[in-house]
Copies of this chain bind each other. A is one copy, B any other.
Amino acid sequence: MTLSDYIPVWDKLSPAQQAQLLANTSSRSVKKGTVIHNGSMQCTGLLLVQSGQLRAYILSPEGREITIYRLFERDICLFSASCMMNSIQFEITIEAQKDTQLLVIPAESYGSVMEQSAPLANFTNEIMASRFSEVMWLIEQILWKSFDQRLAEFLLEESAIEGSSTLRLTHEAIGRHMGNPREVVTRMLRYFQSEGLIKLSRGSVELVDLAGLEALRDR
């Protein structure tokens, strides 16, 4: 995968702008568990995920973590280049969740093209808006708490009832049980899966971390 696969407005950049980005982009392989960026480090640059998985999290003063978002193949990490924008005033840590292959665009190169190119600036806006949306979703989950706890409880109950850690239930059916729209159920189930609590497959939900689900339920 090359830059044009990540940047849908690639064709709207001038040849000189394309060349500037290409000339400065490098490849990087990181092992699972590597901290690629943290708030206090220098500006790491934009990270383009070719394979593997990244996790962005914040740290409490006592060292507790919370995952803000995850990045998969084809995703771009913007906040590892936060020095590009004066108004970004928070510190985020980026860690490889799996062995990960990356492209790295230095913040200065990307920033200087973005300054001239309306299409690239608008594309960057869209990336930030999607991360913003993920963070707002997380806030809602944290604040109104009930739904993730209720869902964990429901899954544990069902599992006890069925005497199995694999539940043959559609998202629609769970939604009916819980009085929530299917979309809300699907989104939370995917979040559970990304947290390693469950594993989803067609028409079934496998509980893989019972202790984690119980901790969530009893939080």
Contact = CB atoms under 8 A, between A and B. Distances in A.
A22 interface: no
A146 to B, nearest CB: 8
B121 A87 contact: no
Contacts of A88: 129, 132-133
Interface string A121-153: 110111111111101111110111000000000
A60 interface: yes
Contacts of A40: none
As for how many copies of this chain the complex holds, the number is: 2
A138 B139 contact: yes
Give the bracket for the number of chain A residues in contact with chain B.
35 or more
Q: Is the interface of A mostly helix, strand, loop or mixed?
A: helix
Contacts of A125: 85, 121, 124-125, 128
Given A58-B139, A118-B115, A118-B118, A86 B126 contact: yes
Interface of A: 58, 60-62, 64, 66, 68, 85-90, 114-118, 120-122, 124-133, 135-140, 142-144
21 contacts: A60-B140, A60-B143, A60-B144, A66-B139, A85-B125, A87-B129, A87-B132, A87-B133, A90-B137, A114-B118, A115-B118, A116-B118, A117-B118, A118-B118, A121-B124, A128-B129, A131-B132, A132-B132, A132-B135, A135-B136, A135-B139
